[in-house]
Chain A
Amino acid sequence: MPTEVWTLLAPFTDPASRTHWLALLTGALLAAVFLFWVSERRDLKTLAKIPSQLLPVRYLRHPSVALDVQLLMAHQLLSVLITAPVWAGSWYLATHLTRLLDGAVGVPNLGVESGWMLSIAFSLTLFVVWDASRWALHWCVHRVPALWALHQVHHSAEVLTPLSFHRVHPLESLLFQARAAIVTGTLSGLFFWAFRGAATDITVLGVHAIGLVMNLTHGNLRHSPVWLGFPDVVERWFISPAQHQVHHSADAAEQRCNYGTWLAVWDRMAGTLRLSGDQPPATLGLAAGERNHGNDLVSAWFGPLLDVLGLRRLLPVLALVIPFSAQAADDEEAAELTALGEEIIVYSPDGTPRVAGSAHVVDEEQLEQFEYDDVHRILNKVPGVYVRGEDGFGLRPNIGIRGANSDRSAKITLLEDGVLLGPAPYAAPAAYYFPLATRLVGVEVFKGPAAITHGPQTVGGAINLRTRDVPTQTDAAFDLAYGMRRTAKLHAWTGTGNERAGVLIEGVRLTSGGFKELDGGGPTGFDRTEWMLKGRLATDPALKLSQSLALKLGYSSERSNETYLGLSVADYAENPYRRYAASAEGLMDWKRTQAELAWSFDIGQVRARTVAYHHYLTRGWRKLNAFSDGTDLHDLLQNPEGGASAVYLGILRGDEDTATDSQNLLIGTNDRRFQAGGLQTTVNWQTRMVNGVQSTLETGVRIHHDDVKRLHTEDTYAMIGGRLNQLDVPTQTTLDSDATATAIAAHLQDDVQVGAVHILPGARVESIHTERVDVGGPLSPADRRTILLPGLGLLWSAMGDVNLFSGVYRGFSPVPPGSLASVTPETAWNWEAGARHGGSGQWHGELVGYYNDYQNLSGQCTSSGGCTQEQLDQQFDAGQVRIVGLEAVAAQEFLLPHRMRLPIEATYTYTSSVFMTSFNSEFPQFGSVDAGDRLPYVPSHQGALRASLSHPRWRVGAVATHRSGMDDIAGGGPPENPAVPALTQLDVAADMQLTKHWAMYTNGTNLLANQSVVSWRPFGARPTAPFQVMVGIKLTPPE
């Protein structure tokens, strides 16, 4: 459509316009609700009258409205014919002001980065100063006679419609444009000068958000027949539509009050504020004899000019050549306003959804049957959960839930037996430790509102890993397995106990020769060891007050020859399991200790559990970080064919020797020491049923402290003859920092059951204090934040075993230590609604739809995500993101002859994610984002089909999983940028009971040997783990 047409339609299509179609619509809807609410009879008859109250039919023929339309049309047509001069723009003023200040004062180094606090400050400043300047100019146009002559055109409106907003003399319009240019230009220049583009205002539809909200809500009611006042106390702060209609009164005294647009404070300060009262003005417009123009366009244009220029006395002469209209205001057509003066009540709550939403459990039977050692393979069957492979073993899982970034599982809450398991979940949420999947007895996934009782990461959800309980008799189990690529597992546990006391010891050793082939030879496998000791003491359970003490001690260690370095496209195609010579030094080495002491008591309907915990993890990961000149390894491996890039790839491969300093390889050891400890209490209390209402209350408090000390160093290597050679260059310390976090978290959730309905209100509070000290770096301020995360849910057992549920809650992800106060945490309002059928019998079905509305989605920088040392732990904002998803589960167990069972389960997840704004980000997975792009590493479709045929003596099962393609960076990047392709895998497992206690088993993963890139992070293509078979023998405990 030509530009001219858009210009003509701009009053209704430009979101910045008061009369944008959406603002007209929302204003009309709100007015309709208001009119219906305040009417004496709320029935269909009243409803039918509302349209005529919003826009009386006689208005369509009213000469005042005709002039509104003429002025609007003429203004738009003139704006097509006469292009406004460039220099009147605020941009011109802003750029010159910035340059002037730069030259006179210099560039201030405030060290403030972009963030929500700064955006809010900028937006509020704009809103307040805009409003004040409008008030001041409005005051002037009433008090300065020449200006009043122009402003009369607006005040001569005898009936008010939203189009009266545009009823402005062209010269007055210029005045207000100049005001906007001066105010906006000055503020923009000042903020740009001070913050160098970090200060951006909050916008919706590209328009300043606060102003837009005002326009969308009541802006168009200011010029309308609807008499809508605010309560007095509100009208002292905000100008109501009724107050503005008072300002349009024909009474001169009333015209000289309420000059404000949105805020009433300016009128209060000037003593010109008048509350709306109960009745609208008797007459709108101008007093008889005062009006300098008629209800005609030409009259409205030139009449005021005569007054301005003092030419009115020449009117008779001018009348000979200028045919003015002589129309007068028609008193009979004076506006009849609806006399409504009650307080606005737009709506009232009429229902509440539930907090407790979808949850998923992978039980011990499934875990036992498939004997997975990679937790990714357990979780990729759970709807709403996405995993991103890296090393092929799941040593450092990347798990995301419902769109939350999967990088190092940092955006989800990870628990082991209800206790935070991450090395430092607040100060450094990246989960470098994960328990070995083989010793888990259950995996619980809480998504959406169900996650509110777990924190601090609540945007996506929580995963709780359950370890083995202390047995109540003497038990033992043993599992020895061996498989391809020298993969071996030894897993054993034994324990003894009764109802009062018990002890359990469990150990696992898992080793593998690895499936990758290092150029020039070398190890690529790993060695994991885990020990767990549990003890339990309890009082007699028959006592009224029963108590127990439980101790858990753990030790884990890992040495794995892992690297960040992947492959180029061509090398991946040739041999996906290749590893470049430059990765030869890769070695992850960590050790972790764990101690937990839990005290529980049970009295009547009250249960409480208090846990004191402490975890300690120390790690060093030696690996290739970068070239000396900073060449981006991730980008290089995606496009290494041409020019100097091919030389750099040759050096990584060992085909080329390092020839210049810039081609040296920096191999770093990222030493980190994590510590986490705390005390948490959870109390559950079920009340007695009173009048059919029963309440089950859960409340919890956690005091937590964690810290991470980082000492990152780099040594310089040269590639010579296909081998890495360390150069005689001093070791460089690239990061020496200490970050701590102390958090107090509390949650309260009630399950109020009224008949078949459960109402579940809940809330979580997180109060987090963080500090970060960088040796030799800039001083980071301590940061303290408190956030309230409310939620509400509804569950209705509709028809016996059919449950309908829905809920809403506020999701949250804290900011990293060292963040400036202006950095805002990730927050989202998350909604879900679903239905569940069955559950306890042989059939189970579930369908859940969810909608996550991120106010600010953020990415937190990790080395594994491709960030530089300087970016580590920084938060990068992505603004508004919306995620819509659908999760489905259908499971049926068929009972067959000969005591055989055939359980079949299908799960499916659909996810649609959309960035709402366009921006450029240094966060590697965002990059250059266009509004409408989807989130990286979130597949649109994901599904799994699991079937198992079991007999008391044997079992055969298979799981097929499919995941659609994923983007590596937001929007998929340029076409030549390869995304992560779709992947289908098939796993099978079979076991046979040899004797009462001994069983043999075998399992095969990726039986189809499908191979595709599972990730481009940290650097280059990562392969799918190859076809792998294990054979083992188990000693199972007695039933």
Chain B
Amino acid sequence: MVSMAGKFNGWRVVGGLLLLVTLRPMACAAPDVGNSGLPPEVSALVATLLGNVGPEVVLPALEDYQAAAIPLDQALNDWASAAQTGGDAVAARQSAQDAYRDAAVSWQAVEMLQLGPAGSSLTVTAGQDLRDEVYSWPTINPCRVDQETVEAAWDTADFFTENLVNSYGLDALEHVLFAEDVNACPGQVDINADGTWDALGTDGVALNRAEFAVALSAGVNENVAELVNAWSVSGGDFGADLAKSGEGSSSFASMEDGLNAVYDALFYLELVTKDQKLAKPLGLVDCTAATCPLDVEGLASDASVPMIRANLEGFRTLFTGADVEGMDDLLVALGHGDLAVEIVEAVDAAIVATDAIDGPLSDAVDSVEAMDLHDAVKVVIDLVKGDLATVLTLQIPNEAAGDAD
């Protein structure tokens, strides 16, 4: 027993603390990040990060594409005019091809952002397949495009609703812009069997292709506008829905679901960029020969390498949240800033690796530089699948309190 002078009732201390708590502004219940193991204090940052995806990442990338589409439209119209009036269609087509490369590469930044409306309705939360409407590679059917070139029905009101994505979009545009005079259909297909292709003649085919290209580009623009509308505040405002994950979002029941959507989108770099655009042409997977150069993306336009570069830049933007809060900031807040730096450096290294490839990828599938690029992309993905996954998925057991705990 200890004897102390004075007396102070402990209940008064308790009452004082209670008063402090009562006067303290009441916080809204912070949404739990679910099983991610993220401390609740980080929830606000996650909400900010999710809120940035629409206005800071997706919409700017779409606006970039829309900007690139303006010279493309102009060049296509010039090409069509030249073909119609007997002008220098060859030069006009060349200009249109250059403009196409710029626009197609610009689109590749959006390719990385297949979360929400752009994504597949089969596999992505709130997916509306809008990406496929713009660009559906590798779901392209050149024969169908050639059939439509002969049929010349692109001005009908229901052309884009009656036909499937394998006959329109940026990939179809690439075919009509770059294809040789012959068509891609086997002999038994109508345009060859009934002679309608041959009946068009070289000039007729060129004219139809030029006019079809204008229509295809207009269709792409419409679908891009629809995607912009789905994300914009004045339209579907999907960005707000993502930002409200776990707090009234119609698509994401928890903040973890929203964060997972962003995390899942990063895997485009593995599933498509690494596996389909690199590993398959390089003969590493799904290729029965030593290499499969015909499987590169952008084969006709020779845009394969800049397309991959644009994917990497899109990845970087999504990961860093452009100039505002992104997943890198989340890692910093969680005490894993070194990982954020490591991932960004790996992406930059992969971008540098694209610059080392001289010429189209189809000509370099057996080169050391192409393999280096593949390996550099793999380093990024391994970090995403390994360390980043650890940080986002590791769960902590909940210990039932023992004595003195």
Query: Which residues of A approach B to under 8 Å, CB–CB?
Result: 1-4, 6, 8, 15-18, 66-67, 70, 73-74, 77-78, 80-81, 83, 86-87, 89-92, 94-96, 98-99, 102, 107, 122, 126, 130-131, 134, 137-138, 141, 151, 154, 165, 168, 172-173, 175-177, 179-180, 184-185, 187-189, 192, 197, 200-201, 203, 206-208, 210-212, 214-215, 222, 244, 261-262, 286, 288-294, 296-300, 303, 315-316, 319-320, 322-329, 631-632, 635-636, 639, 641-648, 650, 656-657, 659-663, 720-721, 729
Please report which residues of chain B, range 1-27, place their CB below 8 angstroms from some CB of chain A when the two chains form the complex. Answer: 1-11, 13-14, 17-18, 20-21, 24, 26-27
Do A94 and B396 touch (CB < 8 A)? yes
CB distance from B170 to the nearest CB of A (A): 13
Task: With A215-B401, A315-B4 as known contacts, state yes or no: A4 contacts B26, CB within 8 Å.
Answer: yes
- Select from chain B the residue with minimum beta-carbon distance to A99: B387
CB distance from B255 to the nearest CB of A (A): 15
CB distance from B399 to the nearest CB of A (A): 6
Query: Which 5 A-B pairs give the minimum distances between C-beta atoms?
Result: A643-B132, A297-B10, A211-B400, A643-B129, A642-B129
Interface string of B29-43 (1 = CB under 8 A from A): 110000001110110
Task: With A130-B399, A261-B402, A288-B1 as known contacts, state yes or no: A660 contacts B390, CB within 8 Å.
Answer: no
CB distance from B81 to the nearest CB of A (A): 31
Q: Cα distance A971–B397 when bound, in Å?
A: 26
Do B4 and A299 touch (CB < 8 A)? yes
Question: B320 within 8 Å of A by Cβ?
Answer: no
Do A208 and B10 touch (CB < 8 A)? no
Among the listed stretches B57-65, B119-127, B198-206, B348-356, which one makes contact with chain A, having 4 or more residues with CB under 8 Å of it? B119-127
Do A661 and B1 touch (CB < 8 A)? no
CB distance from B171 to the nearest CB of A (A): 11
CB distance from B130 to the nearest CB of A (A): 8
Contact with A641, one of B1, B24, B121, B400 (Cβ below 8 angstroms):
B121
CB distance from A179 to the nearest CB of B (A): 8
- Select from chain B the residue with minimum beta-carbon distance to A187: B397
Do A91 and B37 touch (CB < 8 A)? yes
Task: With A296-B8, A315-B4, A659-B166 as known contacts, state yes or no: A81 contacts B20, CB within 8 Å.
Answer: yes
Question: Which residues of the partner chain A approach B367 to less than 8 Å between Cβ atoms?
Answer: none
Q: Cα distance A154–B390 when bound, in Å?
A: 39
Task: With A130-B399, A325-B4 as known contacts, state yes or no: A77 contacts B20, CB within 8 Å.
Answer: yes
B128, B142, B335, B336: most-surrounded residue (chain A CB, <10 A): B335
Q: Cα distance A189–B393 when bound, in Å?
A: 12
Interface string of B170-196 (1 = CB under 8 A from A): 000000000000000010100000000
Do A201 and B397 touch (CB < 8 A)? yes
Q: Cα distance A4–B2 when bound, in Å?
A: 36
Among the listed stretches B133-141, B230-238, B309-317, B369-377, which one makes contact with chain A, having 4 or more residues with CB under 8 Å of it? B133-141
Q: Cα distance A752–B265 when bound, in Å?
A: 65
Do B387 and A102 touch (CB < 8 A)? yes
CB distance from B28 to the nearest CB of A (A): 8
- Select from chain B the residue with minimum beta-carbon distance to A134: B402
Do A165 and B403 touch (CB < 8 A)? yes
Interface residues on chain B, size class? 35 or more
Task: Provide 25 A-B residue pairs closer than 8 Å at the C-beta atoms, listed in order of the A residue.
Answer: A3-B30, A4-B21, A16-B398, A16-B400, A73-B14, A81-B17, A91-B37, A91-B39, A92-B334, A95-B334, A130-B399, A176-B405, A184-B397, A188-B394, A222-B403, A319-B5, A324-B7, A324-B8, A326-B6, A632-B122, A643-B129, A647-B165, A647-B166, A656-B144, A659-B142
Do B386 and A644 touch (CB < 8 A)? no
Task: With A639-B121, A721-B188 as known contacts, state yes or no: A126 contacts B399, CB within 8 Å.
Answer: yes
- Select from chain A the residue with minimum beta-carbon distance to B251: A974
Do B26 and A2 touch (CB < 8 A)? yes
Q: Cα distance A642–B11 when bound, in Å?
A: 67
Question: B74 within 8 Å of A by Cβ?
Answer: no
Task: With A184-B397, A636-B122, A643-B165 as known contacts, state yes or no: A3 contacts B4, CB within 8 Å.
Answer: no
Do B21 and A661 touch (CB < 8 A)? no
Do B10 and A659 touch (CB < 8 A)? no
Q: Cα distance A188–B37 when bound, in Å?
A: 12
Given contacts A3-B30, A83-B41, A176-B405, 14 further A-B contacts (CB under 8 A): A2-B29, A81-B21, A86-B334, A91-B37, A165-B403, A291-B2, A299-B10, A303-B2, A315-B5, A322-B8, A325-B9, A326-B4, A329-B1, A643-B136
- Select from chain A the residue with minimum beta-carbon distance to B404: A176
Do B399 and A67 touch (CB < 8 A)? no
Contact with B5, one of A141, A188, A210, A324 (Cβ below 8 angstroms):
A324
Q: Cα distance A642–B390 when bound, in Å?
A: 35
- Select from chain B the residue with minimum beta-carbon distance to A169: B404
Question: Which residues of the partner chain A approach B138 to less than 8 Å between Cβ atoms?
Answer: 660, 662
CB distance from A727 to the nearest CB of B (A): 11
CB distance from A327 to the nearest CB of B (A): 8
Q: Cα distance A656–B28 when bound, in Å?
A: 54
Do A206 and B398 touch (CB < 8 A)? yes
Q: Cα distance A244–B398 when bound, in Å?
A: 24
Question: Which residues of the partner chain A approach B404 to less than 8 Å between Cβ atoms?
Answer: 134, 137-138, 141, 151, 154, 168, 172-173, 175-176
Please report which residues of chain B, range 245-262, place their CB below 8 angstroms from some CB of chain A when the two chains form the complex. Answer: none
Question: Which residues of the partner chain B approach A290 to less than 8 Å between Cβ atoms?
Answer: 1
Interface string of B334-376 (1 = CB under 8 A from A): 1110010000000000000000000000000000000000000
- Select from chain B the residue with minimum beta-carbon distance to A72: B14
Task: With A77-B18, A659-B143 as known contacts, state yes or no: A92 contacts B335, CB within 8 Å.
Answer: yes
Do B394 and A95 touch (CB < 8 A)? yes
Question: Which residues of the partner chain B approach A639 to less than 8 Å between Cβ atoms?
Answer: 121-122
Task: With A126-B397, A165-B403, A661-B286 as known contacts, state yes or no: A95 contacts B4, CB within 8 Å.
Answer: no
Do B2 and A77 touch (CB < 8 A)? no
Query: Which residues of B approach A to under 8 Å, CB–CB?
Result: 1-11, 13-14, 17-18, 20-21, 24, 26-30, 37-39, 41-42, 120-123, 128-133, 136, 138-144, 164-166, 186, 188, 286, 288, 295, 334-336, 339, 386-387, 390-391, 393-405
- Select from chain B the residue with minimum beta-carbon distance to A154: B404
Question: Which residues of the partner chain A approach B339 to less than 8 Å between Cβ atoms?
Answer: 99
CB distance from A134 to the nearest CB of B (A): 5
Do A298 and B13 touch (CB < 8 A)? yes
- Select from chain A the residue with minimum beta-carbon distance to B145: A659
- Select from chain A the residue with minimum beta-carbon distance to B26: A2
Q: Cα distance A138–B123 when bound, in Å?
A: 52
CB distance from B126 to the nearest CB of A (A): 10
CB distance from B105 to the nearest CB of A (A): 21
Do B400 and A197 touch (CB < 8 A)? no
Question: Which residues of the partner chain B approach A200 to less than 8 Å between Cβ atoms?
Answer: 395
Question: Which residues of the partner chain A approach B164 to less than 8 Å between Cβ atoms?
Answer: 646-647, 650, 656
Q: Cα distance A173–B401 when bound, in Å?
A: 12
Question: Which residues of the partner chain A approach B387 to less than 8 Å between Cβ atoms?
Answer: 99, 102
Task: With A102-B386, A168-B404 as known contacts, state yes or no: A192 contacts B120, CB within 8 Å.
Answer: no
Question: Which residues of the partner chain B approach A70 to less than 8 Å between Cβ atoms?
Answer: 10-11, 13-14
CB distance from A1014 to the nearest CB of B (A): 23
Q: Cα distance A78–B18 when bound, in Å?
A: 9
A212, A315, A646, A720: most-surrounded residue (chain B CB, <10 A): A646
Q: Cα distance A873–B208 when bound, in Å?
A: 55
Task: With A211-B399, A643-B131, A721-B188 as known contacts, state yes or no: A78 contacts B17, CB within 8 Å.
Answer: yes
- Select from chain B the residue with minimum beta-carbon distance to A289: B1
A244, A261, A262, A645: most-surrounded residue (chain B CB, <10 A): A645
Question: Which residues of the partner chain B approach A645 to less than 8 Å between Cβ atoms?
Answer: 120-122, 129, 132
Do B396 and A2 touch (CB < 8 A)? no
Contact with B400, one of A189, A212, A299, A326 (Cβ below 8 angstroms):
A212
CB distance from A629 to the nearest CB of B (A): 8
Do A203 and B123 touch (CB < 8 A)? no
CB distance from A144 to the nearest CB of B (A): 14
Do A134 and B10 touch (CB < 8 A)? no
CB distance from B122 to the nearest CB of A (A): 5
Question: Which residues of the partner chain B approach A91 to less than 8 Å between Cβ atoms?
Answer: 37-39, 394, 396
Question: Which residues of the partner chain A approach B391 to less than 8 Å between Cβ atoms?
Answer: 95, 99
CB distance from A163 to the nearest CB of B (A): 13
Do A138 and B403 touch (CB < 8 A)? yes
